[in-house]
Structure 1
Amino acid sequence: MSEYLSEELAVEILARLTIKDLARFRCVCKTWRNIINSRGFTERHRDISPVKFVSFYDKGFYLLDMEDKHPVIETPRKLDFPLDHQSMIDESTSVLHCDGTLCVTLNNHTLLVWNPSSKRFKIVPNPGIYRDSNILGLGYDPVSNDYKIVTFIDQLGSSTAHVFEFRTGSWRESVRILYPDWYYRERIGAFLDQSLYWIAYRSNVDRFILCFNLSTHEYRKLSLPVYNQGVTCSWLGVTSQKLCITEYVSCEQKIWISVMEKTRSWNKIASLSMSNLISIQDHICDYQVEFVSFTKKNDIVVTFSGDCDNVEMEAEKRVKIKVFLYKTGDNTFQQVRFCNSLAGFRFLSEYVESPVITDHIFI
């Protein structure tokens, strides 16, 4: 760099800037441009940038910041949806995220790949037979230096993995599984270290994780925590660059969170009691945990919904949605409040803005 500023120090300074500033600083000099465009810088920027959450409500997408010192979301940032007809999305829409780019399922059975920062987008066609149960995953393959979308399409007697490669702009058939007899807990796969992960099951007592490698296009089955068997509400995610699983045990009214170590063994890192989130004054019954995720500070975001026991209220008004932030540092809960109505509120995906250049995605 120079005798005054080493490259390592420049990386640490630049990684703390906004995406808008980085777009400007790419033009300062060739060295800065090469640093900002490098994969290593992208990963460093991702590691220290705050996690936000893409939410769908009021017929649009919003960015919610849960790491604010005062968790009262007064003016959530509405994202400019790139299509004219927003009727193509609704509360059933699924959203995937990788390196600042979103992949959104549309009502016409196609996929929209969209970068909210650059406002660039691309329509990806449906690869074949479409069902709402088809699983989806979006991730980066470092071997081919390409982003890929993966879906498994079930046909008579088999299930075939279809992979969309952005460099070729086309789908290709890959792994074929004969006579699959399992189902999936969540449609959206978790991405970590060039692999996608889904929870699969044959029954409540026969469950596993399906892992699909984006580089080799091979799959394998991984074991769940031994105490997970029989748990019906589970979510996969990533925290501190480790695969994590969140489990809600309704009979115990507890949330368990575990991470997978390099040895493929599971380590339980948190246990939360729902009784700490619901006060007597709320009069909520039949509640269900809807979403659990981590912030970059390893605090835990918990969203749940429940029916108010006031039978005189209209059915729609009886449903309550609450969001809490569990501070892992001091083991305290803090409710995240919203200034406007939560009608139609739904968390869809974690989101971290990224400086990575993905020109070949939008060709």
Structure 2
Amino acid sequence: MSSSRKLKMMRRRELPFELVVEILARVPVKDLIRFRCVCKTWRSLFQDERFYRQHMTHAPTRIVSFRLSDILLGRFSCDNSGNKAEMILQANNILNARGERLVIDASLLGHCHGLFCFCFDNRIFGVWNPSLRVLREIRKPDVREWSEMGFGYDPSSQDYKIVLLLKKQGIHSEALVFSLKSGASRMIEFRDIGMLHSRVPGTLVGENIYWHVYDAKVKVTDKFLGFDLVSETFKFYPGPSNCVKGFPEVIAGGLRGGGLCTVGVDALSGGLIVWSAQHDDKIGGGIKSWSKICILSPGILEISTSCRIHRIFVVSAITYAGLLLVLVDIDGKESMKRESKLLAYNLEEKSLTNVETSLSLYSCGHLLTYVETLVPIPGRWKL
């Protein structure tokens, strides 16, 4: 057989490029990083925005928790019966562009599309992609003091934005919005309602960032402050009924995954109470109303945790694969010894399971979820 005929037969067996793209869009990031060396076509493909947006729709969701010295990456598993759940936690380091180990003494502004935005030592801003193991410093916005903060994506400009609410000045407050791609910043004024300003990251739902409003007496109110990343406008929305103790956790991912959700301690029963927001279908998708998903009584929690509960405190909460994972601290009735427990509540089947972990839960900070993506860090770098 002639060499030309062999070549024709090989070309017939080659997969169409569109099918190759569909296959590669389902391959984990760590393998795609290695595959960049296969050919120039693949390397160029992995840098194409259409491809990494497509890949993001298939990317697995991971769990992360930040500590002062390192981070904990988690993998969650549950048996078919739903009676046994386990989370494997592994410690990892964050390295900067020079390969130096970074100490996580930082404020997390927010995360979006697998990117985490930090402020280090109140001076340096940085964006980190844990899947690519890339951390890059960005030009610091021209501001010294701020309170609430957020990070999200504006699809209309295809740009990531940092939002910093500045210290209150009279009945009007200001926010600085910083665009990563252009490096431009602008001040936006909004009317304050006497809220207590503290440095907390907002919760990103779609194109909106939300902050729970607390009053001057550090008491949770029935209001949320929302910021629309596209129109760059602020608006106050109704919150769930004010019947919780302490500081409820605000998370993304309601009953059907996507809306806003709050998890707190019920003021009446002392158990856990979960609310889910209904959002408008129109563009902007603000909060329309709230519905109570469940109240987990102390008795139910005692059965699940095998603890005699005196008081319970919500440390962190996330939604993951149809489950509501809640990290709680429990004061026992007899010894008053505090224990940490991770609970998994199935939102559809309404069942509660105690989650076993590979590391002590005392070492966990707030739990967060992210997707493993190829999304590059936009903007002008200061390396």
Query: For this structure pair, what is the TM-score category when the shorter chain's length is used for normalisation?
Result: 0.7 to 0.9
Aligned to 2:359: 340
Deviations 1:84-130 (A, max 9, x none): 5755517xx43521111111232344333212222322334364232
Aligned to 2:326: 302
Alignment of 1:11-50 (within 5 A): 12-25=22-35, 30=41, 33-34=44-45, 37-39=48-50, 41-50=51-60
Deviations 1:183-240 (A, max 9, x none): 3688111223322121224475853222212232211222224xx2344543333225
Normalised to the residue count of structure 2, the TM-score between the two structures is 0.76
1:174 matches 2:187? yes
Aligned to 1:199: 212
SS at match of 2:250: strand
Please, what is the CA RMSD of the aligned residues? Answer: 3.5
Q: Which has the larger radius of gyration?
A: 2
SS at match of 1:76: strand
Aligned to 2:118: 104
Separation in structure 2 between the aligned mates of residue 184 and residue 155 of structure 1, nearest angstrom: 7
Does the C-alpha gap of structure 1 residues 37 and 74 become closer, same or farther in structure 2, counting only changes over 3 Å? same
SS at match of 1:242: coil
1:234 matches 2:248? yes
Aligned to 1:288: 313
Query: How much identity, in percent, do the aligned residues show?
Result: 23
SS at match of 1:354: coil
Separation in structure 1 between the aligned mates of residue 73 and residue 109 of structure 2, nearest angstrom: 13
Aligned to 2:235: 220
Separation in structure 2 between the aligned mates of residue 147 and residue 136 of structure 1, nearest angstrom: 14
1:120 matches 2:134? yes
Amino acid at match of 1:342: L
Normalised to the residue count of structure 1, the TM-score between the two structures is 0.80
Does the C-alpha gap of structure 1 residues 13 and 362 become closer, same or farther in structure 2, counting only changes over 3 Å? farther
Alignment of 1:253-332 (within 5 A): 253-263=271-281, 264-266=287-289, 268=291, 270-275=293-298, 276-279=300-303, 281-295=306-320, 297-309=321-333, 318-332=337-351
Aligned to 1:246: 262
Amino acid at match of 1:151: L
Separation in structure 2 between the aligned mates of residue 45 and residue 237 of structure 1, nearest angstrom: 24
CA contact (8 A) 1:61 1:81 kept: no
SS at match of 2:111: strand
State the shift of 1:350 in Å: 1.9
Alignment length, in residue pairs?
347
Aligned to 1:354: 373
State the shift of 1:75 in Å: 5.0
Separation in structure 1 between the aligned mates of residue 288 and residue 175 of structure 2, nearest angstrom: 27
Gap regions ≥5 residues in structure 2: 1-11, 282-286
Separation in structure 1 between the aligned mates of residue 183 and residue 263 of structure 2, nearest angstrom: 37
Separation in structure 2 between the aligned mates of residue 36 and residue 126 of structure 1, nearest angstrom: 27
CA contact (8 A) 2:52 2:373 kept: yes
Amino acid at match of 1:214: L
CA contact (8 A) 1:302 1:324 kept: yes
State the shift of 1:265 in Å: 3.2
Aligned to 1:209: 224
Separation in structure 1 between the aligned mates of residue 194 and residue 359 of structure 2, nearest angstrom: 44
Separation in structure 2 between the aligned mates of residue 298 and residue 266 of structure 1, nearest angstrom: 22
CA contact (8 A) 2:175 2:187 kept: yes
Aligned to 2:7: none
Deviations 1:147-200 (A, max 9, x none): 111111114324211112112335x23211355511368811122332212122
